[in-house]
Structure 1
């Protein structure tokens, strides 16, 4: 329970509560249109001291609204008959009844022990396989320049990005590319293309792949998978269903995700990649979880490795969250 604050320490606890109220109010305002369910819940939570108190057990860096929402979502996925589930589009089988915010407060407080356990031990995780579309175009160019590719995915989570070569893609314009669907796999990523980029005519040749993550998700562990699902917002129904199909596909394939640190352990994985093809390192919405100092150290480490090994880095990170990059 790193960073736990007791209510007995009144000045510090009061500052924490004030900060949480601000964070939930800001979330409610920012996502009123994009995520109306979570926006309404956030506005209500900001006025519920007992719910905010649950957050006091979370690590300092994880005292954020989405961790509370993911923890509740995780428990709700196991109780789809609860009235709150009727307000979650990705779970609902019947029309919702009652007020979603009332149900949410009741749900989390009735399960306060389970909520505290999740909040104290979990961190938000995302593994959006749709990001493979962003890799497609630089991979295609690197395929033309360097030949066969060896993919090293940093911050790989459940390793779903490593399914790249097994996916089908539909580009508009451009049409469909990817493997035939005679192997039981069925996952297609669609993309509308603007501008005039070079459009791939076949899948890039990714002949080897491995991932690295400080806390990998085991796709064969139902509880870990449910946590990954819970980190998807409930009104993102298409993304939720795509994640479930990707997990089912990952269970049918030998996905390798090594437990390791982005800075300290990436060199070993890249070195192994060189035996198979041109090493391509990918990071997608992962470096924002590192401190500014560790992000700089990661770039320095890639520079050091690149001084003796020809490699490429495909980066998809938020400029706002990673300004020093």
Structure 2
């Protein structure tokens, strides 16, 4: 029969396991990703009180990325000033004498001091790790509340550099003078502002709005030129998915920011600019399972305007049967009007899109354009891309084996 101490021993074992998860995560983040989050995760792993709070959350809500986003959200909401101050304090300078505990004032009204133990120290003199532990323990209910129903959305930025030439190309092929963009599976629908950003390519080509607050770039490999066709006027913007985010809602937009570590300043600035651009002309939102609501989303595009469905690394979440049903939905919608599909998916993920004979899991993605018209499908691959669109090889119209 279990003794009275067995429950305590089990709890200690779970606590040690959780501490190890956070410690390993912290070491990994310090080496790559977010050094700031690395410091916080290690501080949490060393605090029994903080770990006990985390253990009260449902098992699937205890992972470090979600807990750190919740802490960030509380700070962004102005509810944890000391933690917010530590987030924005200057990085710690390396200690010239190993083992010493020196600190250096920033000279800004004593607002922050830096030292070897943390990224910065807030107005109260606490390191970012100490401030995070204090919030985790002292504001436990508030932090845990942030975890309910939340999902880390760390990859929300638009994929403008690969989408712009593909949308322009498919519109040219159809002869469309206007398009309605339908963004599938991207919760904030930030792909939908693709026509309102500035885009520069490594080969010197420029597209879009050079004066936009959002500027995207991509290097071009193989030395080819992208088509010079401009994207036609966008007459409709529609976001589709079962976890949509309303960019005009302050709390939802703040959560998107919270999912980006505070020390990834450039990434945060770009997200901020994209959210502002999207909020200025918010999309029509069609919530629900994609396969169920896609016909409704296409119907939201006015007659006489080409619906262009866009998928960027979302179809891999569907099994093969569901992907084929996705294709069927597009085909069904094309019985009364032409429908276009621009896909940026892993090799072999987008059904019907040629892959240049590339192997699956090859490390790059295929950029495809497809036209559905009167129950016929014309699908072509127009390029390859790497690093989520930061590198692009435009292959449409090329015949050189070296390019393929």
The structural deviation recorded for 1:100 is 2.2
Do the aligned residues in 2 keep the contact of 1:56 with 1:63 (CA within 8 Å)? yes
1:27 and 2:25 aligned? yes
Check whether the contact 2:248–2:282 (CA below 8 A) recurs between aligned residues. no
Distance 2:322 2:265 in 1: 34
**Structure 1 residue 180: Cα displacement:** 6.7
From 151, 173, 190, the equivalent of 2:181 is 151
Picking from 197, 210, 228, the partner of 1:167 is 197
SS state at 2:325 partner: helix
Q: List aligned pairs for 1:5-16, cutoff 5 A.
A: none
What is the TM-score normalised by the length of structure 2?
A: 0.64
TM-score by length of 1: 0.78
Matches within 5 A, 1:200-215: 200-205=227-232, 207=234, 208-215=236-243
C-alpha spacing 1:62/1:313, structure 2 compared with 1 (3 Å) = farther
CA contact 1:77–1:91 (8 Å) conserved in 2: no
Contact 2:22–2:41, Cα closer than 8 Å, also in 1: yes
Kindly tell me: are residues 305 and 100 of structure 1, through their superposed partners in 2, closer, same or farther at Cα, counting changes over 3 Å? same
Q: Deviations over 1:204-250 (max 9, x none)?
A: 23633311132322222222211111111112111211222222222
- Return 5+ residue gaps in structure 1 as ranges: 1-7
Counterpart Cα distance in 2 of 1:230 and 1:135 = 26
Q: Does 1:312 align with 2:341?
A: yes
SS of match in other structure, 2:216: strand
> Which whole-Å deviations, capped at 9, do the CAs of 1:118-152 have from their partners, x for residues lacking one?
11232222463342223234334323433434322
- State whether structure 2 residue 222 is matched by structure 1 residue 195: yes
| Correspondence for 1:228 | 256
Equivalent residues of 1:168, 1:188 under 8 A apart: yes
Cα distance, 1:142–1:20 mapped onto 2, change above 3 Å: farther
The answer (yes or no) to whether the contact 1:151–1:206 under 8 Å persists in 2 is no
In the TM superposition, what is the alpha-carbon distance from 1:199 to its structure 2 partner? Answer: 2.0
Shift of 1:16: 5.9
1:314, distance to aligned residue in structure 2 (A)? 1.2
- The question of whether the paired residues in 2 share the 8 Å contact of 1:58 and 1:121 is answered with no
**Equivalent in the alignment of 2:402:** none
Q: What corresponds to 1:284 in structure 2?
A: 312
1:4 corresponds to: none
* Larger displacement relative to structure 2 (128-137 or 153-162): 128-137
- The answer as to whether partners of 2:169 and 2:229 remain within 8 angstroms in 1 is no
Partner SS, residue 150 of structure 1: strand
C-alpha distance 17-298 of structure 1, shift in aligned 2 (>3 A):
farther
Higher helix share: 1
The structure richer in strand per residue is 2
Unaligned runs of 5+ in 2: 1-5, 92-110, 114-119, 348-359, 367-404
RMSD in angstroms over aligned alpha carbons? 3.6
Call closer, same or farther: CA 1:94–1:13 in 2, change over 3 Å.
Answer: same
Segment of structure 1 superposing worse, 155-164 or 110-119: 155-164
State how far apart, in whole Å, the 2-side matches of 1:63 and 1:297 are: 33
Aligned residue in 1 for 2:167? 139
Q: 1:285 to 1:108 in 2, by over 3 A?
A: farther
Q: For structure 1, which segment, 213-222 or 275-284, has the greater mean C-alpha deviation from structure 2 after superposition?
A: 275-284
Moved more, 143-152 or 213-222: 143-152
- Out of 300, 305, 309, the position equivalent to 2:324 is 300
Within 5 A, what are the aligned runs for 1:12-161?
Answer: 17=15, 20-31=18-29, 32-56=31-55, 58=57, 60-79=59-78, 82-89=81-88, 94-95=112-113, 96-97=120-121, 98-126=126-154, 128-148=156-176, 149-161=179-191
- 1:90–1:237 CA contact under 8 A, matched in 2: no
Question: Using a 3 Å threshold, how does the CA distance of structure 1 residues 246 and 68 change in structure 2: closer, same or farther?
Answer: same
Q: Are the counterparts in 1 of residues 156 and 186 from structure 2 also a CA contact under 8 Å?
A: no
Q: Distance in 2 between matches of 1:13 and 1:262?
A: 42
Q: Return 213-222 or 235-244, whichever deviates more.
A: 213-222
